[in-house]
A and B are shown apart, each in its own frame.
Chain A
Amino acid sequence: MITRTAGSIITKGRTYQYVDNGEPMRGGMKDVYFSPDRSYVVAFYRDVQDFNSRERLIKIVTQYYDSFFNKEGGNYYKDLYSWPTDVVELDRKIGIVVPTYNQNFFFRKGYATSDLIRGKEKEGKWFASPKFRNKQFPLRLDESELGNWLSYFQVCVNIARGVKRLHAAGLAHSDLSYKNVLVDPVSRTAAIIDIDGLVVPGLFPPDVIGTADFIAPEVLSSKHLDVKDPNRKLPNRLTDLHALAVMIYMYLLYRHPLKGGKIHDLDTEKDDLLAMGERALFIEHPTDKSNRPKLNQLNPKELPWADVTKVPYTITGPYLKALFDRAFIDGLHNPMQRPTANEWEDALLKTTDLMQPCSNAACDQKWYVFDNTNRPACPFCGTPHKGTLPVLDLYYQFRESVWKPENQRLMVYSNQYLFQWHANRNVIRNEKLTQEQKVPVGYFTFHQGRWVLVNQKLDSLKDITEDKEIPLGSMVELTDGKKLLLSKEEGGRVVIVTMANK
């Protein structure tokens, strides 16, 4: 075990120590060593880096670093990425310095039955494969590691935000995968790592085509062509969007959207190349059902998730269904049609407003999306919803006295909160919200047999049906057909109450 020192190629005289025990952790391209205090790692490229790669790395740790983190709101992104902070050189090998991931991205318990992976990184694969959550699987994850279904929505929101910010800066990650996105359903966070492969169109070409399962069809179907061939498709912003869609689908449904039962070739490798590339087909395509998973060939440890009839993608609700359709039907072979990261973020957030806690304490998922029926039930355990269920549809003022639907609703449950982004359409629910905007403005509760909204911070809440102001600190009952004006300010919304499960 030797402690070595490598010098920055950017700041003369700045050095970094790392511990070389002869057995670095090995990534696809780099050998990774911890610093003595384990607060950062030094990752050396095994191959010599050409001028372009060096320039790219230097830019990533200087110019891009500044524009991402040294601006207002930059702190928020620090948790979303594991961004390299310096470039070093030692014995003609180039390396990057990257802060160690937050503690929450290492398993506290790991497997339910052993300590084998305690302390290991929470790679996405652990949470995307149905086996590791199957109680019959000997090496399943401990329940304390799995979170509930709602946790994965927040995880996906974070991933979408991370990708959104990269794309907003004109960058593409180029290799989003299980390995490169750490997820933690316990703290409901995600972190994008391996930032050093960033692609800037026209400036820095990609040096990887991605990781199996996440490579876009157009990249796979042209991978036999020379890198300089004009028809060769390489990773870019739009292929990131394919990977993002696959990732979200997998974290919510624990199966791959393109891996079904259709046989394209008797040779396994050719078959896989076609199934993920040229002839990729959504396993839940509404009309072309030829790629539906074959039930008799499924591994029982992957059930119920592998069974698309038991757990169809429509359980993710109307907003996400629409985006999955665009990603895996319209946009699968037509990259321009793919939903943007921002659209995913938005749809995920709107979907969380449709979620209900399952009343079955033993339900593994704990939450489900309201299915817009009069008799809602948890799609995972089948438990019907108990009691009435207020549904609030949001409207905005189109012009004087004309209100139009927002295509957005809020499902009420006891202790559900109301926020400014519900009350006013000018407040956008994203990472730029101020602390003050994150404070609830009211809450819903089932009180003495009635559903009520308690007004905490809405200055101009009004019951339009009864033509009555609802002052701060008082409450209003939610009844079928009731109209409430949440705010008189510009952008203020009206909600109309529908009582389901009567």
Chain B
Amino acid sequence: MFGEPIQALNNALSGMINTLRSDAQALDSLWISIVTFDREVKELVPLTELVNFQLPEITCPQSGPTNTGKGLELIYQKVTAEVRKGTDTQKGDWRPLFFLFTDGKPSDIQLYREMIPKIKSLHFGAMVGCAAGQLADDSMLKELTGTVVHLDTADTNTLRQFFKWVSDTIEQGNKSMGTVESVALPPPPTEVHLVI
């Protein structure tokens, strides 16, 4: 991701963090971590309580491979190590939510496919794949999760709407629950296509 889309992404992400930081429930319970994956895979921000979270500028190289598989590998390690499980004496953490954002397709397909069952075994509370732009490959993401959002363009407005939806998803827990069991995800904004 390069140029305007990455600017727009940074902008939208920071808007989302601000939305969450003005939500009492989110401030009370939410921790966030960001992992980027291109040629390199790195944990850009380690798991941090929302109140102390500082969003860095996300940058990507102009060209090169997209190591989605390696990214999943790191996520798998981190979640396994950092999300507290319940024990006889201590309550566990809530199930984490996982949002994957990409404008391309995995270059390391074999590793990507190897990681999919492992990632699924982590039982995320929700797993959302977001494919932004014409080059993004929905079908690869759909192998990972049933919930894939396709953004035709990665412009500021579309992204802002998308991240608004992401924060709605995160905030879902403090809203009224229906008498009949329903899908946990709120309906996505109108500008994006939800591929299910």
Contact = CB atoms under 8 A, between A and B. Distances in A.
Given A139-B21, A139-B27, A263-B87, A23 B164 contact: yes
A67 B88 CA distance: 53
Contacts of A234: 179
5 contacts: A179-B174, A208-B178, A211-B177, A212-B174, A265-B86
B160 to A, nearest CB: 9
B52 A266 contact: no
Given A116-B22, A123-B24, A209-B179, A294 B174 contact: no
A208 B51 contact: no
Given A208-B176, A209-B178, A227-B180, A271 B91 contact: yes
Given A123-B24, A267-B86, A268-B92, A209 B187 contact: no
B94 interface: yes
Nearest to A118: B22
B27 A263 contact: no
A131 B28 contact: yes
Nearest to B21: A116
Interface in A282-303: 294, 297
B28 A125 contact: yes
Interface on chain A toward B: helix, strand, loop, or mixed SS? loop
Contact of B177 (A116, A126, A139, A208): A208
B90 A212 contact: no
Interface string B158-196: 000100100010000111111110000011001000000
Given A137-B51, A138-B52, A263-B86, A125 B25 contact: yes
Contacts of A206: 179
B110 interface: no
Nearest to B165: A26
B89 interface: yes
Given A139-B51, A179-B175, A212-B173, A297 B90 contact: yes
Given A23-B164, A209-B179, A227-B179, A125 B24 contact: yes
B95 A269 contact: yes
Given A177-B174, A265-B86, A266-B92, 8 more contacts: A123-B24, A177-B176, A180-B176, A207-B179, A208-B179, A227-B180, A263-B87, A268-B91
Interface string B86-129: 11111111110000000000000000000000000000000000
B174 A211 contact: yes
B18 A126 contact: no
Interface residues of B, number: 34
B25 to A, nearest CB: 6
Interface of A: 22-23, 26-29, 46, 116-117, 120, 123, 125-126, 129, 131-132, 137-139, 175, 177-180, 194, 197, 205-212, 215, 227, 234, 261, 263, 265-269, 271, 294, 297
Nearest to B161: A23
Given A116-B21, A131-B27, A271-B86, A211 B94 contact: no
Nearest to A227: B179
Contacts of A208: 176-179
A180 B86 CA distance: 31
B174 A120 contact: no
A46 B89 CA distance: 43
A301 to B, nearest CB: 9
Nearest to A132: B24
B174 A29 contact: no
A444 B131 CA distance: 72
B66 to A, nearest CB: 31
A437 B123 CA distance: 61
Instruction: List the 4 closest A-B pairs by CB distance, nearest first.
Output: A125-B24, A28-B175, A28-B176, A268-B92
Given A23-B164, A123-B24, A125-B25, A210 B87 contact: no
Contacts of A263: 86-91
Most B-side CB within 10 Å, residue of A28, A180, A205, A261: A28
